[in-house]
Structures are given as structure tokens and as C-alpha cells.
Chain A
Amino acid sequence: MKKNILIYDDDEDILFLCKAILADYDFVVETLSKCENVLTDIQTFNPLVILMDLWIPRIGGEKAIEIIKQNESTKQTPVIIFSANANIEDISKKVNADGYIEKPFTISTFIETIQRHVG
């Protein structure tokens, strides 16, 4: 079975980097720079884990996580906050995220955190 990862970030360079890092691993990576259609995105890509930036245009990452966690069919999908926000740990607890990766990150932290959630 393919291991799908869905990454939301408004910075194209970051998305490209994530794809480059994950290319060596057994993942299928889908990247998006908008998060307002998060429920249909999940339906379309069926990800094992979602990485969500916080400062993302329109509704923002926090709101998107709230939508995921309030929907019966998507609330089980692990969501990892992926941000440069210094209060990432507090925000992660607040929105009930499943984990966080603080930017800048090391490749090992990045991979370990993702793998912890895809089993």
C-alpha cells in the first residue's frame, strides 16, 4: 500500500525541499499551498499523515486543523503542525494536533516525526 503524505505550506521552496527529502523514502507526497478545501483534499489523497503550516493564506492552518478534527470521517487522520512559530508546542496542544515539526528542522527530526505517525 502506498504511504500518502499531504503537506500544506504556502512556500514553494519548502514544499520542493520536503519532496526532495522524502524522495529517498517510501512515500507518495502531495503538496498544496491552500488549505480551505481540506476535507475534499483528504478525500482525494487519502493521506496517512498531514503536515500543516500555520501561516497559510485565507483560513490559516489552525482553522484547517479544527475542521479536520471536528469531522467524523477525518478526525482520525494524524495532523502534524509544520511551522516556524516559536509557540508551536502550545498551539499544537491548543488545537489538539498530533505532533509538530518546528522550522528550521533537521532531516532526521523531520523523518522521525513523520514515521512515528505512519507506523
Chain B
Amino acid sequence: MKTQPEANNLERIEDLENRLAEAEQLIDAIKTGEVDAFAIRSENKTEIFTLHSGDYAYRVLVENFSEGAINITEEGLIVYSNKYFHELLDLSYEKVIGTSVFDFIHPQSIETFKPLFTKAFGGQSKGEINLVAATNIIPVYISLTSLYPQLPTIGIIVTDLTEKKKNEKILEDKNKELERTILKLSDMEARNASKDEFISIASHEMKTPLTTAKGYIELLLRSLSEENQTALYATKANQALERLHDSITELLDVSKIQNGQLNYNITGFDFNELLDETMENVQHTTKNHILHKTGNISQQINGDKGRLQQVLINLLSNAIKYSPNADKVLVKIEEQDSKVQVSVQDFGIGMSKQHLDKIFDRYYRVEEHAVHFQGLGIGLYISNNIIKRHEGKMWAESEPEQGSTFYFTLPV
């Protein structure tokens, strides 16, 4: 039987062994990093002991954070600031620590900050405020987290919004600019629409009396024999009205091109046949010239037949018009790779190089010829546009007094 002191000693040894085991476990846990702080309760308070090796990593991380991190007491005193935060305020660490956070908040943001601060004691809060730095105001996003009950402080992560705000401002400015542009465009569109309507009404108003005049002249011509002098006058008047009609149509076309409203009705057709037919029609308008054609194509062309005929008429009429002393116009058609090339050559007045680049411009007229030849200077502009819209090309070669050759290509 064991004596009493013996038994007490055994109990104490057992207790010590247990405590040793506990201590060994704790040391193991610290070694493996499972514990980085512990609380020691003594008398009426609890003290937190952190292990230097345990929070080292977090300190470094927070210190080198590319966002501001501060810790403030319930009175608002800053007890910790990372490097980023005091650099953001352009102040030294010493000027920041121990200072009230309210000193760095813009007066107009105080009322925003107060409820966020109060709310943070219950957990978390977030919001946007302005900070006052040494020389400027910094918009920031703040995220407050209570560190209670372990620490009687609030941790705040501060995100600098300067760049974001700057970008937002740029975006806002751009948006305003865009809005203004849209307004301007719709205004222009409205004005263009009324301009189009005006041209449409004007051309209608011009065509109606033209219709009447042409009709009566034609009736008059029908009632007269060809030998009658009056018939000649009537024919001249009719020709003048034809020219007027062409001018009205051309002006309307230019207006449509300008507004992108020249519509194309694309079909596949025999271009060769169109050329023959057009040459035959134009041949009737001249007594002095013979229109000769060389070449043939077998391929069909996709395009607007009416508009392409307009181009051919324009080139053939020009060739006749600008070669009053010549007796022929040569038309050549040939297939090259995946395109058709048409040329119209005259032996007339021609033009110098300086005009060649400009003759496809709107309203351009060769000055020295304008006295002798009528026209608005828009026929080639329209033709060139039509060819371009068919993904073709148009150009000219010319020598003064030698004549001109106009070319265009169309894809097959």
C-alpha cells in the first residue's frame, strides 16, 4: 500500500507529464506554423502574444501592398500605416502615426465616413470618400473591417481611385462629345433630308413644264412637213429641251450620289449586246461621225444595265462633242484576266496633262473649251462614280489636238 505523500507525488508527476505533453504539442504546432499567436489569461485580462515568425509574412505583405492599409483606434487615431498609405498622402510615416484619421478626410467626406466608421464596429463597411493629401485631393475607395475582439481597432484598406476617376472623366467627356456629334449628325441628316426633298420637288417642278413644252413641240413637228422652215425651228427647240432634260437628270443624279442615294439594280446581262445597242442609238445623233467597234466579249456582266448604259452614252457623246472636225470614234472592248476593258477614242481637241486628273471632279470644266462646248461638268463625275460602284476603274489619256481616249474596266 502506498503512503499518502507517495500518492500525491505520483499525481503531481502525472500532472506534470500531461502538461509537458501539452507544451510539446504546442511547440510542435508553433514549429509547423499551425499557431502564430496565443492568448494568456492572467487575473482579469487577456493578453495576446504573437509569434514574430508567425505574422512576419503578413507584415511584409501588408507593408508592400500596392493599396493603403491602416489600423485606427475607436477614437480614429492611426496606430498603423503601411508605406503605400503615407506615401499616398505624401507624408512621412511619423506624421501619419498618432494622427486622427479625420485630419486626412476631406471636410465634405466626413459625413460619408462617420456612418461607415460606426458600421465597421459591427463587422464591415465600404464606401468612397476623398482624402486630403499634402497638396491635393485623392478620391479613394475604403473597406473597413473590425478587428474586435482580438484588437480594439478597425483595419482599413484604402484604394486610390485617382486613375479610375480620371478615366471616368475622360469617358464622360468622350460620351458628351459623342452625344454632341450624334446631335450634330441628326441635325445634318434632317437638313440633308430637307435638301433632298427640295431637289426632288425642284426637279419635279422643272420636269412638269418641260413635259408640256416637249409634248407640244412634238405635236407641232408631227403636223409639219420636213421641208417646212418651222419644222426646223421646232426641231431645234426640241433638242434644246432634250438638253435641259439631261441637265435636270444629271443634277438629280449628282444630288443622289452626294447623299449616297443613287440606287443600283444589279442583274447579270450581256454587256456586248448593251454596247452594240447603245452605239446604234448614239449613232443616230451624229451625221459627221461613224462609230466603229472592235473586239467582243462572251462573259456576262453583273451590274446596273441602265446606269452602265448611261456611262457609255456619256463617253460616246463626249467623244462626238469634243471632236467636231473628226469623222470617227473608235470603241474597243476586250477581256483581260477577270475584267472587261472598254475604251472610247476620239480624234478631237484633246486636253493637256494638267486637266486629266481633274476631269472626273464634280463641276470641273476645261477652261479653254468651256466657251465653245456647253455642259455642267458633271457627266464624267457621274460616270466615274457609277464605274467605281461597280468596282471598276475609269481613266483617260489625251494630247491636245490629238484627241482623247477614255477607259473603264468592270469585273466579270
Contacts and interface: CB of A to CB of B under 8 A. Distances in A.
A57 to B, nearest CB: 14
Contact of B222 (A55, A103, A104, A107): A107
B219 A11 contact: no
B218 A106 contact: yes
A27 to B, nearest CB: 15
A79 to B, nearest CB: 19
Contact of B211 (A87, A90, A105): A105
Contact of B204 (A21, A84, A105, A107): A84
For the residues of A in contact with B, the DSSP-based class is loop
B204 A104 contact: no
A103 B208 contact: yes
A14 B203 contact: no
A104 B245 contact: yes
Contacts of B222: 107
B219 to A, nearest CB: 6
A107 B218 contact: yes
B274 interface: no
B305 interface: no
A14 B212 contact: yes
A24 B222 CA distance: 11
Contacts of A11: 208, 212
Interface string A1-27: 000000000010110010011000000
Nearest to A9: B208
Interface size class of B (residues with CB under 8 A): 20 to 34
Contacts of A90: 263
Given A55-B204, A85-B204, A86-B203, A104 B210 contact: yes
Interface in B297-316: none
Interface core residue of A20, A104, A105 (most chain B CB under 10 Å): A104
B215 interface: yes
Interface in B234-263: 241, 245, 249, 252, 263
A21 B207 contact: no
A86 B252 contact: yes
B206 to A, nearest CB: 8
Nearest to A17: B215
Contacts of B204: 55, 84-85
B209 interface: yes
B214 interface: yes
Interface in A63-116: 84-87, 90, 103-107
Given A84-B204, A104-B207, A20 B212 contact: no
A21 B218 CA distance: 9
Interface of A: 11, 13-14, 17, 20-21, 55, 84-87, 90, 103-107
6 contacts: A20-B215, A103-B207, A103-B208, A104-B207, A104-B210, A107-B222
Give the top 7 A-B pairs by smallest Cβ distance, nearest first.
A84-B207, A104-B211, A103-B211, A17-B215, A13-B212, A104-B214, A107-B218
